[in-house]
Structure 1
Amino acid sequence: MNALEQLRTMTTIVADTGDLLAIERLAPVDATTNPSLITKALTHPDKQALLSDSLNQFHGDIDSVIDSLTVEIGCDILKLIEGRVSTEVDARLSYDTDATISKALEFMEAYDKAGINSERVLIKMAATWQGIKAAEVLEKQNIHCNLTLLFGQHQAVACADAGVTLISPFVGRILDWQKRQQNRQIVPVEDDMGVESVRLIYQYFKQHNYNTQVMGASFRSPEQVLALAGCDLLTISPDILDSLANMNIKVERQLSPDMAVKAMDKVTLDQAAFDASYQEDKVTQNLLPKGIDGFIAARDELAATLEAMKR
C-alpha cells in the first residue's frame, strides 16, 4: 500500500477543498470548506451562470446569495462522499454568539429543505469564546459543530468542555508563525510546534475521555500529515493527498488513545480564565484574528464579484 492507503487504515481522511472534481477523484470520507475555498470554487469561470442565477433568485441580496451558494456547494459535495461536510458561518459573526447560532440554524434549515440529513452537516465557526458558546448551544440541539482557527490548548479545552463534536487545530499556520519568529526556513517535524500542538490536544482529550474529535488541519507537507498518523481525522488539501498517494514508504502510527505518555491535569476554563490564557498565548493572539480577517476578506472578494455582476 502507498502512504495514503496506509494512512486511511489509521485515520479518517477528509478533503480540504471545495473542488468537486478533486473530491470525486480522491474519494475522502468527509470534506471541509471555508470561505477561501468557497470563493475559489465559485469564482471559477464554470460557475458564472450559477452566480448569475442566484443573484436573480435573491434579487441582488449579496449575503443571501453567498449563504445559498455555500449550502449548494455543500449539497454537491455530499453527493460525492459518504460522510459529512463542514459549512462555515460568516466569519464576521465570530465574536457574536447569538448571531452565530441564528446563522447556523438558517444553514440547517436550508440543508433540511434540500433533503440533507442533519447528521451529515457540521457547522463550522472560529474557536473564539463566543463561537465556542454558540457551539455549546447548538450541540444541545443536536446540531454538530466543527470549531476552526484553533491554535491553543485553551481553545481545545473549552471546546471539549462545551461538548463540541470536532475541532480543527491548524498545524501549518502554527509552523508558519514558528518560522517567522525563529527566523528559520526549515523546521524538522520533530521540532514542529504545529505538530506538537495537535499531539498535546489529542493526548489531553484521550486521557480525560472527551468525545470531541481532533482533526488536524492546515498542512504544509506530507511529513506533517504522517507525523500525526492515527489522529481521529486529518483534513488534507488535494496536492498533499496526491503526494501521499505517490509515496511508497511504511507509515507508522504516531497517535492512539493508549499512547498518551504525558500525564496532563484536567482543566476547566470560565471566560476569565479563557481570556487570560489567550493573553499568554502569543501564537493564538497573532493567528486567530488574522485567520478571521482572512476569511472575511475571502467572503468580501466573492461579494465584490457578485456586486460587479449586478451592474
Structure 2
Amino acid sequence: MAPTTWLDKLEEELNIDVDWMDPDFLVQMQPTIRFHDLTSNQNFVDIQMGHPSNAALLRDTAREVQNERTAAPDAHGSKETHPLWLAIYTRMAVRMCKKVVDLIQGRVLLQTSPAQAYDTAATLAHARLYDAEFARVGIPRARFCIKIPCTGPALIAASVLQAEGIQTLGTALFGLPQAMACSQAGCLSISPYFNDVRAHDDRSVWPAVRDPAVEHPNAARLVQILDLYRRQYAATGKRQPLVKNASFVSQEEALAAGEMGCQSATLFHTLIQDLAAHPYTDAERPGGIAAAAATRPKPAADVPFYKDRPAPSDRLAPLLAVDPLNAADPTTVAVGYDAVVAADYLADGGKPLDAAIAADPVAKDRLDAALTLFIACEKRSQDKVEAALASL
C-alpha cells in the first residue's frame, strides 16, 4: 500500500477544495483525490481566461453577447447595470466552470466584482447575472456558490441572495465582526484568509513559523471564529457558515486548518502537489503527537457541521483570549464573543460592519489589499475581453 500523505491525512480531517480552474490538473489529480468544491477569484479567472485553450471560447462568447446586445439591448439588462465587457466576462467565467464542474464533487464558486464591493445594488446585480448564466449552461443552484466580499454593503446583497435561494460565501474575511456579519446574512460559507494576500509574492510579510496552529499571528482569530459559530449553533440551533480556510503559503498551515476544525481548506494547485508528495507521520506533524491527538475526523456529510463540535483543544484554547494582530494590546481580544453577538452588523446598510472593520487596522489594511489585487486582476480580464471584441 502507498504511504499515507499529508494530503490524505488532511482529507480525513476536512474537505479539500481546489483553488485552480484548470481541468487538466483536476484530471491529473483524480487517481489521488476528487476535490469537493472548486473556488476561484478574479485572479484565477483571469489566468484561465488567458490560457490558449480558451482563446476561441473567449472570442465566441464576446461575439455572442455583443450580438445579443445589438439585437435586443433591453432584454439583457441596461448597459449601465451590466457593461458589455462584464456581461462577456461573466458568461466566460461560467463557461469555464462548466468545463470543470463534473470533475469535482461539489460546487464551483465565482466572485462578484471587487470594484463594486461597497455597492449593494451592483453586487446584487452581478450575482444575479452569474445565477442567470449558470442556469443558461445547466448548472443548478445546488452546484454553485457566489463569493461576496465581506463589506457591509456587499453582505446586505448576500442576505438578499440567500433569501432568493442563491448560496453565498463571504470572502476577504479578516476578523470576528465580518464572521458574525456573514452569519447574520445567512451565508453558506466564509473564507477567512490565513495570510495577507501580499505574502504570496512578498515573503517578508509572511510569518514563517514552525507550528502555525498556535504560532501564526492569525491563528487566534481563526480559532475565535470557529468557536463563535460553535457557540452560536449551540445557543440558537441556527445553521452557521462553514469555514473554508484559504490563503495558505505552506503545507504546515494547511495541516493547522485540520487541527483547528475547519470544514474545508482551499488550496492552490502547487500546494496540493506538495502535500500529495509528503508522507505523513504524527511525529512529523506541526505540533507533533499533541497536535495529532487534538484532531478529529470530519463529521459525516449529513450531520450539521457544528452539532456536537467540541470546544478548542488544550493546545488551542489559550488562543481564545489573545489576538497577536491587535496592535493596541496583543494579549487581549479587542472585540470578543459577547460584543459581536450583541451587534447588528447589517443595520443601516451595513455601516456598523464597515465601522468595525475601520476600527481594526489589520482587517482594514488586508481587506483593502485583497480588493486592490482583485480589481487589478479584473482589469486585466477586461482588457482581454476588449481585445477579443476588437478582433471580431
By how many angstroms is 1:175 displaced? Answer: 8.8
Which residue in the other structure is 1:28 paired with? 35
Partner amino acid, structure 1, of 2:245: G
Q: Structure 2 length as normaliser, TM-score?
A: 0.73
Do 2:120 and 2:153's aligned partners in 1 also have CA atoms closer than 8 Å? Answer: yes
Q: Which moved more, 1:154-163 or 1:193-202?
A: 193-202
Over the matched positions of the two proteins, sequence identity in percent amounts to 25
Which of the two has higher C-alpha Rg? 2
Distance 1:64 1:267 in 2: 40
The size of the alignment, in residue pairs, is 309
CA contact (8 A) 2:20 2:38 kept: yes
2:152 and 2:178 mapped to 1: Cα distance? 8
Give a deviation string over 1:2-30, Cα, whole Å, max 9, x none. 11112111101100111121223332111
Match status 1:202 vs 2:226: yes
**Counterpart for residue 16 of structure 1:** 19
Shift of 1:280: 2.0
The equivalent residue for 1:192 is 216
Displacement of 1:244 in angstroms is 1.1
Note the aligned Cα RMSD (angstroms).
2.4
SS at match of 1:235: strand
* One of 340, 353, 356 as aligned partner of 1:277: 356
1:258 aligns with 2:282: no
Q: How far is 1:47 from its partner?
A: 1.8
1:228–1:254: 8 Å Cα contact kept in structure 2?
Answer: no
Whole-Å separation in 2 of the counterparts to 1:131 and 1:183: 28
Please name the residue that 1:268 is paired with: 343
Distance 1:88 1:174 in 2: 16
Displacement of 1:292 in angstroms is 1.2
Distance in 2 (CA, whole Å) between partners of 1:273 and 1:59 is 41
Tell me if 1:216 matches 2:245. yes
Is residue 151–residue 174 contact of structure 1 (8 Å, CA) maintained in 2?
Answer: no
**Whole-Å separation in 2 of the counterparts to 1:307 and 1:274:** 36
Q: 1:183 & 1:95 partners in 2: Cα distance? A: 27
Quote the residue 1:79 is aligned against. 102
| Structure 1 outlier segments of 4+, above 6 Å | 182-185
After TM superposition, the structure 1 stretch with the greater mean CA deviation from structure 2, 217-226 or 199-208, is: 199-208
Aligned pair in 2 of structure 1 residues 92, 175: CA closer, same or farther (>3 Å)? closer
Q: Does 1:239 align with 2:232?
A: no
SS at match of 1:193: coil
Task: Find the aligned partners of 1:202 and 1:174 in 2 and give their Cα distance.
Answer: 21
**Length-normalised TM-score, structure 1:** 0.91
The structure-2 alpha-carbon separation of the partners of 1:175 and 1:216, relative to structure 1 and needing over 3 Å to count, comes to farther
Partner deviation per Cα, 1:105-160 (whole Å, 9 max, x = no partner): 12112211221111111011100011111111111111100111111111111111
1:161, 1:268 within 8 Å by CA — same for their partners in 2?
no
The answer to whether the 8 A contact 2:162-2:186 is kept is yes
The aligned residue for residue 151 of structure 1 is: 174
Kindly state the Cα deviation for residue 174 of structure 1 after the two structures are TM-superposed: 7.0
